[in-house]
Structure 1
Amino acid sequence: EILFRQPESSRLGDCPICCLPLPIPCDVQKHNCSSSPVISMHCCSQVICKGCYYANRMREREQSLPTLCPYCRHPAPKTEEAWKEETEKRRMKRLEANDPVALQELGVDHYHDGDYGSSIKCWRKAAVLGDVVSHYQMSIMYREGKGVQKDMKKAIYHAEQAAIGGDPKARYNLGCEEMNNGRIQRAVRHHIIAASLGYEKSLEVL
């Protein structure tokens, strides 16, 4: 069964610089969450771990080097205003090209602004384009009834799509759902896969 096939890695994969598995970021729905352990470079859309990002920044400061993207080496804008302007231009270009990651990020912005309806529209479109994170976000929204009518059938569908794509948090939620329904063997299989992808909550459950 494709749902229980072990992914080679989590949806994030490995950091392209240190080649270690990228840490799993927390949910956008959690307002008390600390800063993400990964960072998406706006110049090249590459996701790297914060350890590599800060190591590069320290090296540049110590050696008085210009600030460059640690992955694509694109020069960083000189001022915060220029950085915001360049970031927005790149985002608009990606949105015009229907880039699913850009749509997912825009959905996150709408969510934090309290516009759940717009966030759902962005995530739904990105999910159709194959974005795993958007499937996971949709599963949470349908489960909690934010921006859409509460629908556990759709919540589970999107969680399954995200789990197949390598999202350990979606896999954890499916395991908890199966456990609540008394299907212990299926729950254990979900948690084993999530734990193997580095999700500590599933390891604790096991």
Structure 2
Amino acid sequence: SSHRGDCPICCLPLSIDPDKSTLMSCCCKLICDGCEYANTTRELVGNLQQKCPFCRHPAPNDDEEADKNFMKRAEFNDPVAILQIGLRRRDEGDIEGAFEYLTKAAELGDAGAHD
């Protein structure tokens, strides 16, 4: 197991490669690509609405909706959501805002915020 932990669905260790897992904006859980693929296939075959495989919250339709989900989770001091907000602020060029969010995520115990 790595610092990223295990997939909350299949309980297999998550890959160190971030491209092999999906962050769900609704519950801030990292899901392995295998579970994400199985869930997406089940939804497509059954002609079902796309939902999070962990919490069953409807999938966001766009980045704006995903950002709202992260902000909602950040209000409850979710370190993963706070990290994501900090990374987006950094990408937008707001270095001071990013620093505040990344510092808070690190204080709450998110190992990824130390990068």
What interval of TM-score do these two structures reach, taking the shorter chain for normalisation? 0.7 to 0.9
Q: Which residue, 43, 46, 49 being the options, matches 1:63?
A: 46
Q: Which residue, 80, 83, 88 being the options, matches 1:109?
A: 88
Q: Superposition RMSD on alpha carbons, in Å?
A: 2.1
Greater than 3 Å deviation, 4+ residue runs: none
1:146-161 to 2 correspondences below 5 Å: none
C-alpha distance in 2 between matches for 1:89 and 1:73 = 17
For the pair 1:14 / 2:16, whether they are aligned, the reply is: no
Find the counterpart in structure 1 of residue 32 from structure 2: 49
Find the counterpart in structure 2 of residue 180 from structure 1: none
> Which segments of 5 or more consecutive residues in structure 1 lack a partner in the other structure?
1-8, 27-35, 138-206
Check conservation: 2:70, 2:82, Cα contact below 8 A. Answer: no
Deviation string 1:137-177 (CA, Å, 9 cap, x unpaired) is 2xxxxxxxxxxxxxxxxxxxxxxxxxxxxxxxxxxxxxxxx
Please identify the structure whose Cα radius of gyration is greater: 1
Cα 1:43–1:130 change in 2 (3 A) is: same
Find the counterpart in structure 1 of residue 64 from structure 2: 84
Deviation string 1:158-199 (CA, Å, 9 cap, x unpaired) is xxxxxxxxxxxxxxxxxxxxxxxxxxxxxxxxxxxxxxxxxx
Between the aligned residues of both structures, percent identity stands at: 48
Cα 1:98–1:68 change in 2 (3 A) is: closer
Q: TM-score, normalised by structure 2?
A: 0.81
Cα 1:25–1:106 change in 2 (3 A) is: farther
Secondary structure, counterpart of 2:83 in structure 1: helix
Q: More helix per residue: 1 or 2?
A: 1
Find the counterpart in structure 2 of residue 132 from structure 1: 111
Aligned residue pairs, count: 115
